[in-house]
Amino acid sequence: MSPAAIVLAPGLIHHPGRLDAAARERLAAEVAELLAAAPPFIPRMPRTGKPFSVRMSNGGPLGWVSDEAGYRYQATHPETGRPWPPIPPLALETWAALAPDAAPPEACLVNLYAPDARMGLHQDRDEADLSAPVLSLSLGAPARFRYGGLSRSDPTRSIRLEPGDAIVMGGPSRLAFHGIDRILAAAPDLLAETESGPPFLPAGWRCNLTLRRVTAPCVPRSA
């Protein structure tokens, strides 16, 4: 049984060890299959074209991309032109368990962090439906996760995310600023797993899956 959930802020829930070793192995295999169909690419900043420090891919009907034209969701890989592969089944199962009242996710971002990669404070606000939460799942190396409030200037705190941890950002924290400060060394009991890594990750790298609902679900009209 995984440890009890931790409320970091209203709507921001940390689920330590949500995925045990067997689940992490299964998810890693599913992500490897996804990346074989949709190879990682390097997103670029709007306007400047500056490359991100993370590599990225997507699964699901829609995928998040960024380049000189801006941030957006689209149905095809920006380099291959092919549709995105399906969202990993275990990720969908975890969404159903941790966000049972939300509409199904339409996008699963796969971010690959080298040991020197970072993700600055940002909001996930490119979605039409902000009522559904964002679900984050961690594999590979641990990381320092920083979170704040609804303004970039709000005070921030940080926690250590281990492989198998889940984060749910919803309700009052759906638009909270958050990011990854740095990639960390593995704890002794997970060192062997991190060094061998998922099949698609070099030693010391981290993988983060972020599931999102993009469009607002259709509400049937009353008779």
Q: Does a structural domain hold residue 120? A: yes
58 inside domain: yes
Is residue 217 a part of any domain in this protein? no
**pLDDT for 200:** 81
Residue 209 β-bridge partners: 110, 137
Domain for residue 154, yes or no?
A: yes
Percent of the chain with pLDDT over 70: 92
Does a structural domain hold residue 222?
no
Give per-residue pLDDT as tens, 142-184: 999 999 999 999 999 999 999 999 999 999 999 999 999 999 9
Q: Kindly state whether residue 75 falls inside one of the protein's structural domains.
A: yes
Phi, psi of 207 (to 5 degrees): -120, 135
For residue 150, what is the domain's CATH number? 2.60.120.590
d(CA 175, CA 183): 23
Instruction: Tell me, yes or no, whether 220 lies in a domain.
Output: no
pLDDT digits (tens, 9 = 90+) for 77-120: 999 999 999 999 999 999 999 999 999 999 999 999 999 999 99
Q: What backbone torsions phi and psi does residue 138 show, to the nearest 5 degrees?
A: -110, 140
Domain coverage including residue 34:
6-212
In this prediction, residue 129 has a pLDDT band, given cuts at 50, 70 and 90, of confident
Domain count along the chain: 1
218 within a domain of the structure (yes/no): no
Using a pLDDT cut of 90, give the percent of the chain over it: 86
Considering the entire predicted model, what is its pTM?
A: 0.92
Query: Comparing C-alpha atoms, which of 216, 65, 190 is closest to residue 198?
Result: 190
- What does the pLDDT average to over 3-21? 96
- pLDDT tens figures, 33-78: 999 999 999 999 998 999 999 999 999 999 999 999 999 999 999 9
Task: Indicate whether 223 pLDDT > 50.
Answer: no
b/e map of 49-69 (b: 16 or more CB within 10 Å)? eeebebbbbbbbbbbbbbbee
- The Cα 213–Cα 62 span in angstroms is 9
